[in-house]
A and B are shown apart, each in its own frame.
Chain A
Amino acid sequence: MSTEEPLVKIRGLRFSRSDRVIFDGVDIDIPRGKVTAIMGPSGTGKTTLLKLIGGQLVPDAGTIEVDGRNVHRLGNRDLYALRKRMGMLFQSGALLTDLSVFDNVAYPLREHTNLPKSMIRKLVLIKLESVGLRGAAGLMPSELSGGMARRVALARAIALDPMMIMYDEPFTGQDPISMGVLVKLIRELNDSSRLTSLLVSHDVHETASICDLIYVISEGRVVESGSPEEITGSKTAWVQQFMGGRPDGPVPFHYPGAELADELMGGHPC
Chain B
Amino acid sequence: MLDQLAELGRIVLRAVAGLGRAHLLMLGLLRGLRDLFPRPLLLVHQLYSVGVLSILIITVSGLFVGMVLGLQGHYVLSKFGATQTLGVMVAASLVRELGPVVTALLFAGRAGSALTAEIGLMKATEQLSGLEMMAVDPVKRVLTPRFLAGFIAMPLLASMFSAIGVVGGYFVGVGLLGVDSGAYWSQMQANIDLHEDVYNGVIKSLVFGFVCTWIALFQGYDCMPTSEGVSRATTRTVVHSALAVLGLDFILTALMFGK
Residues of A near any B CB (own CB < 8 A):
51, 54, 56, 80-81, 83-84, 86-88, 90-92, 94-97, 107-108, 111-112, 153, 156
- Least CB distance from B90 to A in Å reads 41
The reply to whether B135 and A92 form a contact with Cβ atoms under 8 Å apart is no
Max chain A C-beta neighbours (<10 A), residue from B132, B135, B136, B141: B135
Q: Indicate whether B126 reaches chain A with its CB closer than 8 angstroms.
A: yes
Q: How many Å from the CB of A22 to the closest CB on chain B?
A: 17
Asked if residues B136 and A111 are in contact (CB atoms below 8 Å), the reply is yes
- Contact indicator A81/B133 (Cβ below 8 Å): no
15 A-B residue pairings within 8 Å (CB atoms): A56-B129, A56-B132, A56-B133, A83-B135, A88-B133, A91-B126, A94-B125, A94-B130, A96-B130, A96-B131, A108-B136, A111-B134, A111-B135, A112-B135, A156-B134
Shortest CB-to-CB span from A24 to chain B, Å, is: 24
Quick check: is B227 within 8 A (CB to CB) of the other chain?
A: no
Please state if A81 and B135 are interface contacts (CB–CB under 8 Å).
yes
**Does B189 reach chain A (CB closer than 8 Å)?**
no
* List of B residues within 8 angstroms of A86 by Cβ: 133
- Give B70 Cβ to nearest chain A Cβ, in Å: 42
Do A94 and B126 touch (CB < 8 A)?
yes
CA distance A54 to B128 in the complex (A): 14
Closest 4 A-B residue pairs measured CB to CB? A94-B130, A83-B135, A94-B126, A88-B133
Q: Shortest Cβ distance from B24 into chain A, in angstroms? A: 14
Contacts of A90 in B (CB 8 A): 126, 129-130, 133
Contacting pair A83 B132 (CB below 8 A): yes
Chain B residue contacts of A153, Cβ below 8 A: 130
| A83 and B134 within 8 A (CB) | yes
Question: Are B133 and A54 neighbours in the complex by a CB distance under 8 Å?
Answer: yes
Residue B226, interface by CB 8 Å: no
Task: State in angstroms the CA–CA spacing of A87 and B137 once bound together.
Answer: 15
**Contact between B129 and A51, CB atoms less than 8 A apart:** yes
Residues of B within 8 A of A (CB): 122, 125-127, 129-137, 141
Is A80's CB under 8 angstroms from B127's CB?
A: no
Among residues of B, the one whose C-beta sits closest to the C-beta of A166 is B133
Besides A56-B132, A96-B131, A97-B125, 17 more A-B contacts (Cβ < 8 Å) are: A56-B129, A81-B135, A83-B133, A83-B135, A84-B135, A86-B133, A91-B126, A92-B125, A94-B126, A95-B127, A95-B130, A97-B122, A97-B127, A108-B135, A111-B136, A153-B130, A156-B134
A83 to B125, CA, bound (A): 20
- Docked Cα-Cα span, A49 to B132, in Å, equals 16
Q: Which residues of A contact B129 (CB under 8 A)?
A: 51, 56, 90, 94
> What chain B residues lie within 8 Å of A51 (beta carbons)?
129
B133 touches A107 (CB 8 A): no
Looking across the interface, which residue of chain A has its beta carbon closest to that of B128?
A94
Task: Give chain A residues whose Cβ lies under 8 Å from the Cβ of B134.
Answer: 83-84, 107-108, 111, 156
Q: A54 — which chain B residues lie within 8 A by C-beta?
A: 132-133
Q: Which residues from B are CB-within-8-Å of A96?
A: 127, 130-131
For B122, what are the chain A residues with a Cβ–Cβ distance below 8 Å?
97
Q: Closest CB of chain B to A91's CB: distance in Å?
A: 7
Give the chain B neighbours of A97 by CB distance below 8 A: 122, 125, 127
* Closest beta carbon of chain B to A17's beta carbon, Å: 13
Enumerate chain A residues within 8 angstroms of B136, measured Cβ to Cβ: 107-108, 111
Distance, CA A51 to CA B127, complexed state (A): 14
When distances are taken between beta carbons in the complex, the residues of chain B under 8 Å from A111 are 134-136, 141
Q: Smallest CB–CB gap between A263 and chain B, Å?
A: 29
Tell me the minimal C-beta distance from A255 to chain B in angstroms. 22
Query: Within the assembled complex, what's the spacing in Å between the Cα atoms of A205 and B174?
Result: 81
